[in-house]
Amino acid sequence: MARHKDIMYSSRTRYTTDVYRRIHNLKLLLAKALAKIPPDQLSDDDKRRLGELADLPELTILHIIYQQKAYEGHAKDYEFSGTSMREHWQSGYEDTRRTLKRQEWMAMPPSGSGVLVHDVHRQHEQE
């Protein structure tokens, strides 16, 4: 049951990020396509849309996903005792400190790259 919940919650986070990245990249492609059309051939809606898409930000998303402790069971998604919460906060604090040491992740993405995603635990384990 605990593994099922790990997969379910982690998959939902990754799915949401992947959908956001796809939509953002499609907006970038639409802006590039509309920019190739001469302004006098664009409808008012297309001109408005092009204006909205002109300032799309470059984004970096850092996935910091809680890593379950060996002794935690399937109740971790509804067990909110003081001890559990302090352990989770400490874990989040340590993950954040480790993440902030990765200066290359804090740099702005290259222009036109859209959305970059770093999975903190997966990339940290590979090194």
pLDDT tens per residue across span 29-86: 999 999 999 999 999 999 999 999 988 888 888 888 776 666 666 666 777 788 888 8
- C-alpha 54/C-alpha 35 separation (Å) is 9
Give the pLDDT score at 26: 92
pTM of this structure: 0.66
Radius of gyration of the chain (CA): 20
For residue 63, list its beta bridge partners: 119
The token pair at 14 is 């990754």
CA atoms within 13 A on the CB side of 88: 14
Picking from 18, 2, 6, 22, the residue whose alpha carbon sits closest to that of residue 119 is 18
